[in-house]
Structure formats: C-alpha cells, structure tokens
C-alpha cells in the first residue's frame, strides 16, 4: 500500500505501535516493524527497574535501541525525552541521531531548535500533543513535523485535558493541516481502522491493543485482565495533568471515592501512587499499588497474540 504515511516513514503499513512508557521493549518494537508497521520505544523501554538518573535512562535507551537494530532492519521510532525544564532534549536527540534512529516521536514541545535538529539530519518527526488542538497542530506543521498524531479522549495512558473523542478530533485536525494525520484513541480492531480512515486519517496509532501483545513486558495478569474486561469496567478519575482511567485494582475504590468528593488533582495523583503507579501495577503486577491504564477500545480485544498477528489483523485491508 502506497500512502503518504508509508512513503514518509518507509514502512509497509500505516500502523504505528504507540509508545507505552516501559510497557515497550526491543522485542515488541522489532516485531511490529518486522511485520510492516512502525514500532516505537517509549521512555524506559525494556527496563527491569526504574533508572536513578536521566543519564542512566539515556544509556539504557541507547542499549535498547541497539537491541532493536539487532532484531530488525526496518525503521522504528523512539520517543524524545526532554524533561520538564527542557534541558535534556539535546543529549537525547544526539543519542538518537548517533544510533541512526529514523523516526522520532515528539510529545508536546514546539521548540524550533528541536525540529531543526531532526530535520537537518533527515530524521522524520511524529508530533503528538497530549491535548491536540488546531493551534498546536498548525505550529508543529510550520516547524517541520512530518506527521501529526491526533489523539482522542478514548485513549489509554495520560488522557487529554479536553474531552473530545477520536471521532471528533480526527476530522478537526485533518482539516487544519496539510501533512498527514494519524488517528489515536480506541482503535483496537479492523472496524476502528476503517473508521479512522473514513474520518480522513492516513494511518492508525494503537496503544492499549499492543499492551496485550505476547512480546509486551506487561505482567501477564494485566494482559488477561484487559482481555477479560470491557470499557464498562473502566474507572475515569481526575489526576495530574488531567485524567486517567483504570481497570479494577486494589486502589480503584479509594480513587473512585476521592474523585466523587471533588478532591484536588494533586491529592488524587498521590493516591494513585504517582508515576510509580503504572510500574507497580502494570509492569510488576502489584495491583494494590497502582492503576491498570487502558483506553476505551479494549472491549474488542479478545486474545493475547503475537504483535505480528495484531499488525496483520489491523492491516487486512491493505
């Protein structure tokens, strides 16, 4: 299939496996890329413990990239880690360039030097705002992004702060820019792919579905829970920076109660066990100490499958 997206990214199918933080690793990313999609390494991909410093994180990311390169010759993407004070984008960007990564995913930031750095090295840029808007999409296009990821409120992980679902956000962003738009949020089977394309997206970006891939380092009980659950089982609660969802865990009743009392977002964030929440519950399987975050598209996920089967299933029309 020749589309703008496959040409830009030099891949067979317009399907991107979303970064899922440390719930990605070289095996998953290479399996997706070998199957014709684009695998993406998230922050702390493939790690057995959380790093003590961001320099350690950087070295570990380099190692994981090298592992991917041993497993596939096809393009794959990595996330730019910039840090809240923006002081860290350059060491990460330089490492990605040194390792020959062909595609970078930039979350949020619209700093011209960062775009110039990658453009001057012919590294393709995927831009994904946490809360997509007409303004940030246009600005990313102006700065040189190659593709915009339009993420709807249906997604898993850190949910956008504006409650605009995938069906509404995708055509809004498609009409705002000339570069290709890829749809994210709630796409977990062929029906979601067809719908995204009908809305004007030129490809799809799937996260929750790849949590259930055989290669994913998530705890087995997380994969089984997702397969056994539907969107009706999800609890949506306020936290920092906006919202999160969780399937039932030991913390769910407490989070539901605090949320119903209009508790402030900082207290909610502490109650979910902050940034350790996903590591504890999803990577280690300690359901009493965190949340199991997924999007609302999980109702149609019926089995734990190798990533290559997931790619073939979603791309069956191409």
Ligand X SMILES: Cc1cc2nc3c(=O)[nH]c(=O)nc-3n(C[C@H](O)[C@H](O)[C@H](O)COP(=O)(O)O)c2cc1C
Q: Which residue in 6, 92, 137, 151 binds ligand X (CB under 6 A)?
A: 151
Minimum CB distance to ligand X, residue 261 (Å) = 26
Q: Tell me the window of 6-14, 95-103, 167-175, 201-209 that interacts with ligand X (CB under 6 A).
A: 201-209
132 lies in the site for ligand X, by CB under 6 A: no
Minimum CB distance to ligand X, residue 205 (Å) = 6
Minimum CB distance to ligand X, residue 255 (Å) = 16
b/e map 81-91, b = 16+ CB within 10 Å: bbeeeeebbee
3-class SS string, 250-295: CCHHHHHHHHHCCCCHHHHHHHCCCCHHHHHHHHCCCHHHCCECCC
Q: Which residue in 123, 148, 295, 315 binds ligand X (CB under 6 A)?
A: 295
3-class SS string, 81-108: CCCCCCCCHHHHHHHHHHCCCCEEEEEC
C-alpha closest to that of 127 among 104, 106, 97 = 106
186 lies in the site for ligand X, by CB under 6 A: yes
Listed in sequence order, the residues at least 6 apart from 296 whose beta carbon sits closer than 8 Å to its beta carbon are: 154, 186, 231, 234, 245
Q: Tell me the window of 117-125, 232-240, 288-296, 308-316 that interacts with ligand X (CB under 6 A).
A: 288-296
Nearer to ligand X, 143 or 149 (CB): 149
Q: For binding to ligand X (CB under 6 A), which residues are involved?
A: 18-21, 23, 42-43, 79, 107, 128, 151, 154-157, 184-187, 205-209, 278, 282, 293-295, 297
């Amino acid at each position: 299939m020749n589309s703008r997206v496959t040409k830009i990214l030099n891949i067979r199918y317009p399907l991107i496996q979303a970064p899922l933080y440390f719930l990605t690793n070289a095996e998953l990313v290479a399996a997706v890329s070998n199957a014709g999609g684009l695998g993406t390494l998230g922050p702390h991909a493939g790690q057995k413990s959380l790093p003590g410093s961001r320099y350690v994180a950087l070295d570990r990311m380099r190692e994981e990239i090298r592992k991917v390169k041993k497993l596939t010759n096809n393009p794959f993407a990595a996330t730019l880690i910039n840090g809240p004070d923006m002081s860290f984008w350059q060491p990460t960007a330089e490492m990605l360039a040194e390792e020959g990564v062909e595609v970078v995913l930039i979350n949020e930031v619209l700093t011209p030097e960062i775009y110039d750095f990658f453009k001057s090295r012919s590294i393709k840029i995927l831009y994904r705002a946490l809360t997509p808007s007409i303004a940030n999409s246009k600005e990313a296009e102006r700065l040189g992004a190659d593709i915009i990821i339009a993420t709807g409120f249906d997604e898993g992980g850190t949910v956008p702060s504006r409650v605009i679902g995938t069906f509404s956000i995708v055509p809004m962003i498609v009409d705002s820019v000339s570069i290709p738009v890829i749809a994210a949020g709630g796409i977990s089977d062929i029906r979601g792919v067809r719908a995204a394309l009908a809305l004007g997206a030129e490809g799809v970006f799937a996260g929750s579905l790849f949590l259930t891939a055989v290669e994913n380092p998530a705890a087995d009980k997380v994969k089984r829970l997702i397969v056994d659950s539907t969107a009706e089982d999800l609890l949506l609660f306020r936290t920092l920076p906006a919202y999160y969802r969780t399937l039932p865990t030991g913390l769910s009743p407490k989070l539901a109660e605090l949320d119903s009392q209009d508790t402030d977002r900082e207290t909610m964030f502490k109650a979910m066990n902050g940034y350790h929440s996903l590591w504890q519950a999803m990577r280690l399987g300690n359901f009493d100490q965190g949340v199991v975050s997924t999007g609302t598209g999980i109702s149609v996920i019926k089995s734990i499958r190798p990533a290559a089967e997931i790619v073939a299933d979603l791309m069956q029309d191409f």
